[in-house]
Amino acid sequence: MNGGGTILARAASDADDRLLSADEPLAGLHRRCGGELPGTIAVPELLDLVRKARLYRLRIARSIFAQDAAEAITAWVEIEPTEEGDGCAIFLRSWHAAPLPPEDTREAFDRRNRVDRLVAELSAQLDGRQRVLAVTSESRELRRLAAAMEAGIGRPFTDFLAAEGRGHSEPLHWRLLDGSHVSVEGSPRDWRIVLIPHGRAGREPSGFELLLVSDEPPPLPAPPPPAKGEGASPQGLVGQDLAPVLRQPIARIVANAETIRSRLAGPLPDAYADYAGEIANAGRLLLGLLEDLSDLEVVEADGFSTAPDRIDLAEVARQAAGILGVRARAKRITILAPDTGESLDAVAEFRRVLQVLINLLGNAIRYAPEDSQIWIGLQRAGDRARVTVTDQGPGLSADEIAVVFDKFERLGRSGDGGSGLGLYISRRLALAMGGDLRVESVKGQGARFVLEVPAPETDGTAG
Amino acid sequence: MLRAELARGDTAAETVLPILRHLVSADHTPLFGDEILARIRGMLEHLASQLLDALAAAQGSRERRPREPEAVRTLARALLDDAALLTHLHALSLEWQLAERLEARLSLDPVVPPLLQALVASPEPETQSLAMRLLGAQARWRQGQRRMQCGLLELPAEQLHAALLTLRSLAVGGIAGFGPEDEQAARAEAALRRAYDESASRIGLAARLVMGLGGAAVTALSLEHGGVALFLTALALGSGQPREAAALCTHETQSARLALSLRVAGLSPTAVQEQLVQLHRDVVLPVGLDRLDANGAASILAGGRYGRA
């Protein structure tokens, strides 16, 4: 592209607009939007642009807007179709993330109900004592259930739908039934009960709307043949087998715990809401751990290598500081990144260095006190280029320094969202690039992490 | 057959009066005054002749033969059928008229407004080079608008694509001077597609520059500071509307849309009023704007019919 300027991340797509490879932060956004790698581009506006560029065979440059659970993201992307027209190269040039304003709980509740009503495959009207008054369903899988309910109008709906692990002798309180999972005879899918009460808030409901929703799509009439070739990725047990299976149920635990915490399902004593908050946090920790474990497998795999390039460490540092700026500001921490005039050449892979710096900065933000400062320094030392991240946190003792880069080392901390893998992975990455990562610290005096990567041979040669 | 013909005639006859009334009564800055019409016609013909030039170049003929006015007119008429292209050209005309008006009234430089001056002097090399390139594009654009022209490669990708399809379909039928060999049209088309780079177009550069401002993009939402081009881009990005809709809402019949869009894009009610007054001196400010937050404004704006992307 003759656009010039820094490229934050690159990605490539194929003739079916599937993302084949992507650097962070694009890859992360793609995954959080529900995408797989390789898999169809999941960021809606990006997909639209890539499709246009490929079909029109025109180079397109636009801003895209996307949001995940926590942040609203605006980014500038440039898309270049390949000569053969069988895909596109995607260049990410700017990236702004802003935290989303907290959603009004009432609104979130209403929206959830609207979505459930739209995707429900069976809906029924119940009276105040949960007895079926009417039922409709267009699903083939649920036809028998609907017919049985139709025949049994006037009976409690739990006669027809037995929530997992519960008998159906007495009607339970509706809040206990709402959201519970049931299996339906004749359907291989897992179903969720949604009960929407009618009547005035705060009183016993005068009736309910019962929806049966499945989070799995209905089976396709003719399943497509399995994708060829793509399956043979060098990922291991976690990345390939476990992570995709675990991600969804854990995400569901987090979402349900959040629902309880925000009292969407009704009033609740504070202590219980707090428990739910802890469940949600624990779930998030598990999700983070899962990502880390997938990364771990990649860096520990035989033949893992990086793609070194001539990069500007100052630029990487500024990018990292920009990406974590919001989180730092939330704790009123100032990140002092290199000025725009500064630069320090190095031979390393841009996105790997960015990954390491984001990890180091993330740790610094997590453990440093509020209103403190974090410095990012640059240094050339012989044939090495150095980035240092210095914080005003509690620091590390000599014993702790000895083990801080070990796998699963938590230094006695727990419950703060760390997995004990970040520094281990970062160090492996630094070593793979022909560099190193170490720490200098005195207990109580902050910590200084030093990332070293090779510098270009002589400064005089034109890069 | 005759009945259908009559019905079409009826429709045409019914629209004569409202259009005539609008054209005659519009005094100062009509949405489709004579100048706007001439400008759109001029730009359409310029686009058509650039497409024909590309066709001639693909034929490999060295000597530049004069374009046949008949072919230019035919192609321009065909391009007129594309509503999106027409909207884009209309928006460009409105943008130009606004730029001229502000130059006369506030002596605002249509090429280098204060914000662009500041960006050109930026210590950051990337911003500085972007700003310089936008400056160049703005100067070319001003020159083009004075001649009622529009660069083919300055069009947004969708509109260029549609224009190329129009060329293709006409070339297959054979346009005056060119045989119905579609291979030649295909070559011309491929060459244009290769040459195109949206990020280098005036609108692309403006969008990237405004994006690069990040949170400071609000500074472009002042006409006298940002200038018309960056103002429209920032307004479009900030309010989530196409740039064409942003251009249209600077017209005096659209002050409610403008007020809402500015509010959505993040201006305070006072700043919105300032912009409105700057644009139309005797504007009647919409009532209740100060009680409306950005979300409320966005939801009203989304309820409007025009300009939904």
Residue A30: which CATH number? 3.30.450.20
Q: Closest by alpha carbon to A263, among A251, A248, A275?
A: A275
A190: its two tokens: 């897992």
Q: What is the pLDDT of residue B175?
A: 61
Q: What is the pLDDT of residue A267?
A: 73
Q: What is the pLDDT of residue A232?
A: 41
- Tell whether A51 lies on the interface with B, counting CB pairs under 8 A: no
Q: What is the pLDDT of residue A406?
A: 84
Taking a C-beta distance cutoff of 8 angstroms, is the pair A424, A409 a contact?
yes
CATH number of the domain at A405, please: 3.30.565.10
Of A1, A52, A94, the CB nearest to B211: A94
Of A4, A61, A96, the CB nearest to B204: A61
Helix or strand or coil: residue B285? Answer: coil
Cα dist from A365 to A95, A329, A347, A446, whole Å: 20, 10, 27, 12
Residues A198 and A62 in one domain: no
Helix or strand or coil: residue A208? Answer: strand
Residues 6+ apart with CB under 8 A from B261: B235, B238, B239, B241, B246, B249, B297, B301
Do residue A76 and residue B208 have CB atoms under 8 angstroms apart?
Answer: yes
Of A3, A65, A341, the CB nearest to B199: A3
Question: How many other C-beta atoms lie within 10 A of the C-beta of residue A234?
Answer: 12
Residues A314 and A443 in one domain: yes
Residues A92 and A153 in one domain: no
Task: State pLDDT tens for residues B166-200.
Answer: 888 887 666 655 555 557 778 888 899 999 999 99
Contacts of B214 in chain A (CB under 8 A): 94, 96
* Local confidence band at B308 (pLDDT 50, 70, 90 cut-offs): very low
Instruction: List residues bridging with A89 in a β-sheet.
Output: A12, A80
Residues A316 and A450 in one domain: yes
Cα–Cα distance measured from residue B309 to residue B156, given in angstroms and rounded to the nearest whole number: 14
Contacts of B207 in chain A (CB under 8 A): 61-63, 76
Q: What is the pLDDT of residue A50?
A: 92
- Tell whether A379 lies on the interface with B, counting CB pairs under 8 A: no
Do residue A60 and residue B157 have CB atoms under 8 angstroms apart?
Answer: yes
Q: What is the pLDDT of residue A460?
A: 45
CATH number of the domain at A133, please: 3.30.450
Residues A319 and A418 in one domain: yes
A87 inside domain: yes
- Tell whether B309 lies on the interface with A, counting CB pairs under 8 A: no
Q: What is the pLDDT of residue A434?
A: 87
Cα–Cα distance measured from residue B49 to residue A274, given in angstroms and rounded to the nearest whole number: 70
Interface test with A, best of B128, B199, B241 (most A CBs within 10 A): B199
Number of domains forming the structure of chain A:
4
B32: its two tokens: 């489709």
Cα–Cα distance measured from residue B165 to residue B155, given in angstroms and rounded to the nearest whole number: 14
Q: What is the pLDDT along chain A (463 residues), one digit of tens a residue?
A: 444 677 888 999 988 899 988 888 888 888 888 888 888 999 989 999 999 999 888 999 998 888 877 788 888 999 999 888 788 999 998 888 887 776 667 777 788 888 888 888 888 888 888 888 888 888 888 888 888 888 888 888 888 877 555 554 556 777 777 888 888 877 888 888 888 888 776 677 788 888 888 888 776 655 444 444 444 444 566 666 777 778 777 877 887 887 787 776 667 788 788 888 888 878 877 777 777 777 777 777 777 777 788 889 998 898 888 878 878 888 889 888 888 888 899 988 888 888 899 889 988 888 888 889 999 999 888 889 999 999 988 888 888 888 888 877 777 666 565 667 888 888 888 888 889 999 988 888 888 999 999 988 765 444 3
Q: What is the pLDDT of residue A157?
A: 84
Q: What is the pLDDT of residue B68?
A: 76
Residues A385 and A450 in one domain: yes
Beta strands in A23-137 (DSSP E): 39-40, 60-67, 71-81, 87-99, 122-127, 132-137
Of A52, A58, A340, the CB nearest to B124: A340
Residues A385 and A288 in one domain: no
Bridge-based pairing of strands A190-198 and A207-214 is: antiparallel
Residues A15 and A59 in one domain: yes
Q: What is the pLDDT of residue A86?
A: 85
Do residue B199 and residue A96 have CB atoms under 8 angstroms apart?
Answer: no
- Tell whether A44 lies on the interface with B, counting CB pairs under 8 A: no
Contacts of A3 in chain B (CB under 8 A): 197, 199-200, 208
What's the order of all strands across the beta sheet hosting A447-454? A334-336, A373-381, A384-390, A447-454, A436-441
* Local confidence band at B236 (pLDDT 50, 70, 90 cut-offs): very high
Residue A22's domain comprises: 9-97
- Tell whether A73 lies on the interface with B, counting CB pairs under 8 A: no
- Give the nearest chain A residue to B208 (CA atoms): A76
Residues A251 and A335 in one domain: no
A246 inside domain: yes
Cα–Cα distance measured from residue A348 to residue A310, given in angstroms and rounded to the nearest whole number: 6
Residues 6+ apart with CB under 8 A from A186: A141, A142, A143, A144, A145
pTM: 0.55
Q: Closest by alpha carbon to A70, among A237, A219, A284?
A: A284
Q: Is the pLDDT of residue B46 over 90?
A: yes
Q: What is the pLDDT of residue B228?
A: 93
Residues A191 and A250 in one domain: no
A423 inside domain: yes
Q: What is the pLDDT of residue B25?
A: 62
Cα–Cα distance measured from residue B296 to residue B302, given in angstroms and rounded to the nearest whole number: 10
Residues A140 and A195 in one domain: yes
Cα dist from A296 to A32, A110, A129, A250, A423, whole Å: 20, 41, 53, 20, 11
Bridge-based pairing of strands A122-127 and A18-22 is: unpaired
Q: B179: exposed, middle or buried (C-beta count within 10 Å: 0-12, 13-18, 19+)?
A: exposed
Q: What is the pLDDT of residue A227?
A: 47
Bridge-based pairing of strands A373-381 and A334-336 is: parallel
Residues A45 and A167 in one domain: no
Do residue B197 and residue A63 have CB atoms under 8 angstroms apart?
Answer: no
* Local confidence band at B159 (pLDDT 50, 70, 90 cut-offs): very high
Taking a C-beta distance cutoff of 8 angstroms, is the pair A124, A136 a contact?
yes
Calculate mean pLDDT across residues B100-124: 87
Of A58, A65, A96, the CB nearest to B157: A58
